Amino acid sequence: MVSLPILQFEEKIVQTVQDNPVVVIIGETGSGKSTQLSQIFHRHGYSKSGVIAVTQPRRVAAVSVARRVAQELNVNLGEEVGYAIRFEDRTSPKTKIKYLTDGVLLRESLSNPELSDYSMIILDEAHERSLNTDILLGLMKRLVKLRPSNLRVLITSATLDGNKVSDFFMNCPVLTVPGKLYPVEILYSNERPTSYIESSLRTAIDIHVHEPEGDVLIFMTGQDDIEKLVDKLRDKVQSLEEGSCMDAIVLPLHGSLPPEMQVRVFTPPPQNCRRFIVATNIAETSLTVDGVVYVIDSGYVKQRQYNPTSGMYSLDVVQISKVQADQRAGRAGRTRPGKCYRLYPSKVYQDELLDVTIPEIQRSSLAGSVLYLKSLDLSDIDILKFDFLDPPSSDTLEDALKQLHLIDAIDTSGSITNVGKIMAELPLEPALSRTLLEANEYGCLSQALTIAAMLSAETSLLPGRSKHSEKKRKPPPDLPDGSGLGDHIQLLQIYEYWHQIDYHIGWLKDNDLQVRGMLFVRDVRKQLSQIIQKIAKGNLDVQEAESERERRRDYKNLRKALCAGYASQLAERMTLHNGYRTIGFKSQLVQVHPSSMLRTDDDGMFPDFVVYHELISTSRPYMRNVCAIKVSWVIPIMKKLENLNVNRLSGGSDQVTDGEQRKSSSLLQQKNLAIEQDDRESKIQAARERFLARKAEREQSLGRKAKK
Ligand code: ADP
Ligand code: MG
């Protein structure tokens, strides 16, 4: 193995880390940060006094890098070298080097705030600026003060603005590892292609036919497009005249690929064979594939963005930033001079691309993170003023506080409640944790666990469930039909049936259900029930026996629990059509997602009220995964909306202290609040009236039908 750049600076790095509690290390992608730093410090005895932790924003990277390091050290994965990602822990008491997602480390710090198991924490891929890494940065700042003598923190990154982080950590040293990057020739398109799949295909084949050997890395935005391009590329390569060019293999690379497919990109190709690797931005910095000489860059990336005003997520294809474009190009110059084909004009690069990517913290819902920070119980933390490298917008923070209050995780003065504390311990989003706790009270925890597991599965479980599919999902035919009550209940019934027939794999296949996904759900469910058994009062076995009764009751308790958990995600149907209006801080018109299994009643209408799992904006705002609920459960929640004071919720003081300005703005706020309150009162009233009107109408029409 050629010595990786980082190894040439081993002594310097070790010395600097010895002398400083926090060090930033900047090095080219592929220079060995992720795989070598942990080993360097392992060699220098840092793993004697504790475990060396290396965080990764992506699950795939944690697994892949751990596997690689175990291989290099010639040990079994899970022993000296292991990894931990949500719902999968492959470590043992022997583990000295532990790769984990940033989310898992955050969770660990809940039960062990000083993270005393670790002698060193390496926050890797910090330039990705994932939400969890950003929060960890803030926490590390406190932690190094608490453990100045026995903890070392390293922050590593390919492209991060080292000085900014250094400023944040009181001018800590920044080490730059010079990488030897070969020149990369950049070729721009004259104009934007109408289809970047077709354009990538043409460019790839052009390279294959005309350019000397070397692998081709193609950046696409997501799994769907990757699969399309892989198919087209395979067809095209096959149709080339035999002997006209070298052999070719086409490989996909993205986060939802099964592990055995992922590792294929790391096996060297046979002689005289060109590889085409079609990847998401995972290949930008997280995973380095050797042998790449040509890069095709679509210029786009898929990004989830959250709009706190509407409470809506959208999965948008957006332009990459200049930093990302340069990263992508750099992938071509690792082993020798390469070429990067940008499928956009240089003018776009110059004028349109942002300089840097917007950090996730500024485009996510923060309900989970804020609950987390609240549960740390650090008395001096006012969430609205937490020490962030880049603070989120106050809208987003306020949105999170309100959501948390509605589901009882924080009280009116912003203190975390007992319910909130338990919620924070569950590795689930707040709405689902809350649902579980409520279900436990009602004796239907077992079923709520199944729903939580089904919703947590990252892969698509059902036919037509792919992100873009607008096809209606279909429940398997041999199930009780729960679709009148919505997706949650239907998902539950699918799982329960599968459980009844002893997890029969053939049945999954016959019904087009994803085998890998369903096995994952079963595993997640088991883990969740282990975690919650410790805190729950109820006896799960008894509850499982309850399930038939609950079914006969139309899942009333279960749906009530969902209503409590998703109190900030309610919607009311319009009187005359099947559109809905969300209930909450900002009401808006939304539709049931076309893929939903929710069915209309005999009159062709959807239920009056639903909770939704998420709001997603594609061509228009849609609710994905909905469950029918009752108006009587909704009224108390609407009442709760009345008395909200965000300043108090943040944990800061709501007292008017000094200065005229504060006073007047606070007065203004009070006035606004009063107006909002009026507004809400009348909304509640209106909702009641609409409901009653509908009910009367319904009864009349039923009466008519009965008469006929
Ligand atoms: P960095 O974190 O600085 O981007 P890495 O430590 O991830 O760099 O990678 C260093 C080298 O190890 C690269 O040349 C990469 O190709 C190689 N490598 C990493 N993971 C694997 C793997 N699973 N199999 C084979 N080679 C790998
Ligand atoms: Mg890395």
Segment 468-479, tens digit of pLDDT: 445 666 777 777
Question: Is the Cβ atom of 497 under 6 angstroms away from ligand 1?
Answer: no
Return the structure tokens found at 579: 């559109």
Nearest CA to ligand 1 atom 22: 68
Q: Is 33 in the pocket of ligand 1 (CB under 6 A)?
A: yes
> Would you say residue 286 has pLDDT above 90?
no
What's the rounded mean pLDDT across residues 520-530? 91
> What residues form DSSP beta bridges with 273?
247
Which amino acid, residue 257?
A: L
Ligand 1 pocket check for 266: Cβ under 6 Å:
yes
Highest mean pLDDT among 267-271, 377-381, 452-456: 452-456
Encoding tokens for residue 35?
Answer: 């795989």
Q: Which of 3, 68, 267 is the pocket-test mutation for ligand 1 (most atoms within 8 Å of CB)?
A: 68
Task: Give the integer Cα–Cα distance in Å for 172 and 162.
Answer: 10
What is the rounded average pLDDT for all residues in the chain?
86
276 bridge partner residues: 216, 250
Contact 581, 588 (CB under 8 A): yes
Minimal CA–CA distance to 52: which of 87, 19, 14? 14
334 with 181: CB under 8 angstroms?
A: yes
Report how far apart, in Å, the C-alpha atoms of 374 and of each of 106, 263, 586 are: 13, 39, 25
Residue 697: count of CB within 10 angstroms of its CB: 12
Task: Pick from 288, 289, 328 the residue to mutate for probing ligand 1's pocket: most ligand atoms within 8 Å of its CB.
Answer: 288
Strands 174-177 and 97-101: unpaired
Q: Which of 4-13, 99-108, 339-348, 530-539 has the lowest mean pLDDT?
A: 530-539
Mean pLDDT value across residues 430-453: 93
Q: Helix (H, G, I), strand (E, B), or coil: what is residue 294?
A: strand
Angstrom distances, CA of residue 614 to CA of 306, 431, 570, 626, 664: 11, 10, 10, 9, 38
**Cβ–Cβ under 8 Å, residues 687 and 680:** no
Maximum distance among all Cα pairs of the chain, rounded to whole angstroms: 91
Confidence of residue 21 (pLDDT cuts 50, 70, 90): very high
Structure-model confidence comparison of residues 74 and 705, the more confident one: 74
Lowest-confidence segment of 15-24, 199-208, 282-291, 642-651 by average pLDDT? 642-651
Distance CA 415, CA 55 (A): 30
Query: If residue 259 lies in a helix (H) or strand (E), which one and from where to where?
Result: helix 259-262
Backbone angles phi, psi at 580, to 5 degrees: -125, 160
Ligand with an atom nearest the CA of residue 39 = 1
Query: What is the C-alpha to C-alpha distance for residues 197 and 240, in angstroms, rounded to an integer?
Result: 19
DSSP letter (8 states) at residue 331: G
By the 10 Å C-beta count (0-12 exposed, 13-18 middle, 19+ buried), 255 is classed as middle
pLDDT band (50, 70, 90) for residue 486: very high
- Residue in the structure block whose two tokens are 């594609």: 618
Specify the pLDDT at position 665: 37
User: Is the Cβ–Cβ distance between 571 and 615 less than 8 Å?
Assistant: no
30 lines ligand 1 (CB under 6 A): yes
Q: How many CA atoms lie within 13 A of 525 on its CB side?
A: 22
pLDDT tens profile 47-83: 999 999 999 999 889 999 999 999 999 999 999 999 9
pLDDT digits (tens, 9 = 90+) for 344-358: 999 999 999 999 888
Task: Report the nearest-CA residue for atom 25 of ligand 1.
Answer: 266
Across 280-294, average pLDDT: 90
Distance in angstroms (rounded) separating the CA atoms of residues 433 and 455: 12
What are phi and psi for residue 241, nearest 5 degrees? -60, 135
What is the spatial distance between Cα 467 and Cα 677, in angstroms, rounded to a whole number? 38
Using CA positions, which residue lies closest to atom 26 of ligand 1? Answer: 266
Distance separating the N- and C-terminal Cα atoms of the chain: 85
Q: Does 654 score more than 80 pLDDT?
A: no
Question: So what's the pLDDT on residue 649?
Answer: 76
Backbone angles phi, psi at 198, to 5 degrees: -60, -40
pLDDT digits (tens, 9 = 90+) for 167-178: 899 899 999 998
Q: What DSSP string runs through 549-610? A: HHHHTTTHHHHHHHHHHTTTSEEEE-SSSS-EEEESSS--EEEE-TT------TTS---SEE
Rg (CA), the chain: 27
Element housing 47 (H / E): none
CA-CA distance, 615 to 612, in Å (whole number)? 7
Q: For ligand 2, an ion, list residues with CB under 5 A.
A: 33-34
User: 56 CB less than 6 Å from ligand 1?
Assistant: no
- CA distances to 235, 242, 275, 339 from 238, rounded to whole Å, are 5, 8, 14, 24
Angle, nearest 10°, between helix axes 394-406 and 631-642? 130
Q: Which of 186, 195, 188, 203 is nearest to 347 (CA)?
A: 188
Residue 623 near residue 612, CB atoms below 8 Å: yes
For 49, phi then psi, to 5°, come to -95, 0
Residues paired with residue 624 on neighbouring β-strands, in sequence order: 614
- 392 pLDDT more than 60: yes
